[in-house]
C-alpha cells in the first residue's frame, strides 16, 4: 500500500468505475426488485400488488414450472459437453505429444462465433427438409428411423436447443481443465503406474482428486452461464413449439417485451438471479465439504 495522500486518490480512482457499475448493474437489479412488487404495462399507472406476482409465479403459473424444469435439462445437456466431454478430451490431450496447441485452438473456435450465427447454422444442421447434417449423418449410418425435424419435434426440441450452448463453450472449459491436469505432479502418477495402476485409475484416484477445486470452479462458471442461456433457444424456436423449449429467460423476455407485463417479468428475473446464486452456493458447499473431508 502506498503511504502518501491516499484518501483523495482512492476517491478519484474508484468513483468512475463504481459509478458506471452502480448505474448499469446494481441500479437495474434494485429496480427489478421494486418492479417485481408492481403490476405495470409501461403505459398506465403502476399498481402496487405486494407479493402477488410471486404468489402467481409459484402457485398458478404452469409455464413457469415447465420452464424451470426445462432449465435443468438445458443445464444437464450443456454441462455434459462443457464438463464431461471437455474433461475427457483434456485428459486424452495429456497423452498426445504433438499438436496440443492446435487442438486447443481449434476446439476453442466455436466460442468466437456469435449466437445469431450459431442459431442460423444449427437451424440448417437440424433440418429434415432440406436434409441437414444430423439427419444426413443418421441416414448414412442406417439410422433412418431416427431422422426427424429436430426443432419441431416435441420430444427432441429441448435437447436440440440445449446442445449448441454446450458445444460453443466446451473449448473454454477444456482449456482450463487441461491446464489443471498438466499441473498434477508427475511423481504421483509415475508411482501409481509402477504399482500397476491403469490409466483409468490414475485419472480417478490421482488426477481428478488433485484438480477437484479447479473442476468445481469450472462447474460454477459453466452452471451460471448455462442457467442464463437465452440467445440460442430464443433464436432457434422462441420457446416453441408451444412451450416445448421454453426457458425462464425466454419466458421472461416474452413477458416483458411481447406482453409488456414489466412487473411479472421482473418477478421472473428476480427468480433467475436467485437460481444462479443458489447454484453457486451449492457448488461452493460441495467444494467446502470436499476440503473438510480430505
Instruction: State which of positions 222-281 bind other proteins (CB under 8 A).
Output: 224, 227-228, 230-231, 235, 249, 252-253, 256-257, 262, 265-266, 269-270, 272-273, 276-277, 280
Least distance from other proteins to the Cβ atom of residue 282, Å: 13
**Interface segment toward other proteins; rule CB under 8 A; list 64-72, 154-162, 163-171, 285-293:** 163-171
Least separation in angstroms between CB 1 and other proteins: 4
Provide the minimum distance between the beta carbon of 76 and other proteins in the complex, in angstroms, as a whole number: 18
Q: If binding is defined by CB under 8 A, does position 161 make contact with other proteins?
A: no
Establish if 142 lies at the interface with other proteins (CB under 8 A). Answer: no
Q: Give the cell for residue 187.
A: 511423481
The residue among 25 and 72 lying less far from other proteins, judged by its C-beta, is 25
Count of residues engaged in binding other proteins, rule: CB under 8 A: 112
Query: Does 64 interact with other proteins (rule: CB under 8 A)?
Result: no
Q: What is the per-residue binding string for other proteins in 174-213, x denoting contact by CB under 8 A? A: -xx-xxx-xx--------xxxxxxxx--x-----------
Given 58, 76, 84, 136, the residue binding other proteins (CB under 8 A): 136
83, 241, 245 from 155: Cα distances, Å = 24, 11, 10
Q: Which of 14, 51, 58, 76 binds other proteins (CB under 8 A)?
A: 14
Q: Which is nearer to other proteins, 6 or 289 (CB)?
A: 6
Query: Which one of 66, 82, 162, 218 is in contact with other proteins (CB under 8 A)?
Result: 218
Footprint (CB under 8 A) of other proteins, residues 69-88: 85, 88
Task: Tell me, letter by letter, the H, E, C secondary structure of the chain.
Answer: CCCCCHHHHHHHHHHHHHHHHHHHHHHHHHHHHHHCCEECCCCCCCEECCCHHHHHHHHHCHHHHHHHHHHHHHHHHHHHHHHHHHHHHHHHHCCCCCCHHHHHHHHHHHHHCCHHHHHHHHHHHHCCCCCCHHHHHHHHCCCHHHCCCCCCCCCCHHHHHHHHHHHHHHHHHHHHHHHHHCCCCHHHHHHHHHCCCCHHHHHHHHHHHHHHHHHHHHHHHHHHHHHCCCHHHHHHCCCCCCCCCCCHHHHHHHHHHCCCCHHHHHHHHHHHHHHHHHHHHHHHHHHHHHHHHC
CB of 275 to other proteins, least distance (A): 9
Task: Give min distance, CB of 93 to other proteins, in A.
Answer: 6
Q: Which is nearer to other proteins, 23 or 51 (CB)?
A: 23
- Verify binding: residue 132, other proteins, rule CB under 8 A: yes
In this structure, are residues 212 and 218 in contact, taking their beta carbons and an 8 Å threshold? no
Amino acid at each position: 500500500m502506498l503511504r502518501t495522500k491516499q484518501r483523495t486518490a482512492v476517491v478519484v480512482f474508484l468513483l468512475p468505475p463504481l459509478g458506471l457499475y452502480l448505474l448499469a448493474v446494481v441500479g437495474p437489479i434494485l429496480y427489478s426488485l421494486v418492479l417485481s412488487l408492481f403490476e405495470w404495462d409501461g403505459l398506465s399507472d403502476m399498481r402496487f400488488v405486494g407479493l402477488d406476482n410471486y404468489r402467481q409465479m409459484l402457485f398458478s403459473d404452469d409455464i413457469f414450472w415447465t420452464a424451470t424444469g426445462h432449465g435443468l435439462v438445458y443445464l444437464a445437456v450443456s454441462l455434459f459437453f462443457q464438463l464431461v466431454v471437455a474433461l475427457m478430451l483434456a485428459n486424452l490431450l495429456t497423452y498426445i505429444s504433438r499438436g496440443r496447441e492446435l487442438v486447443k485452438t481449434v476446439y476453442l473456435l466455436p466460442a468466437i462465433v456469435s449466437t445469431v450465427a450459431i442459431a442460423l447454422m444449427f437451424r440448417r444442421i437440424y433440418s429434415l427438409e432440406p436434409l441437414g447434417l444430423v439427419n444426413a449423418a443418421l441416414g448414412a449410418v442406417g439410422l433412418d428411423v431416427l431422422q426427424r425435424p429436430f426443432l419441431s419435434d416435441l420430444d427432441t426440441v429441448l435437447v436440440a436447443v440445449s446442445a449448441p450452448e454446450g458445444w460453443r463453450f466446451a473449448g473454454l472449459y477444456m482449456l482450463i481443465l487441461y491446464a489443471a491436469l498438466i499441473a498434477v505432479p508427475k511423481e504421483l502418477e509415475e508411482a501409481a503406474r509402477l504399482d500397476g495402476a491403469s490409466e483409468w485409475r490414475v485419472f480417478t484416484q490421482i488426477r481428478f482428486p488433485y484438480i477437484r477445486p479447479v473442476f468445481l470452479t469450472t462447474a460454477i462458471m459453466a452452471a451460471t452461464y448455462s442457467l442464463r442461456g437465452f440467445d440460442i433457444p430464443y433464436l432457434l424456436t422462441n420457446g416453441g413449439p408451444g412451450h416445448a423449449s421454453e426457458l425462464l429467460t425466454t419466458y421472461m423476455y416474452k413477458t416483458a417485451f411481447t406482453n409488456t407485463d414489466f412487473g411479472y417479468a421482473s418477478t421472473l428475473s428476480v427468480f433467475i438471479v436467485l437460481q444462479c446464486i443458489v447454484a453457486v452456493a451449492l457448488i461452493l458447499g460441495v467444494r467446502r465439504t470436499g476440503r473438510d473431508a480430505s
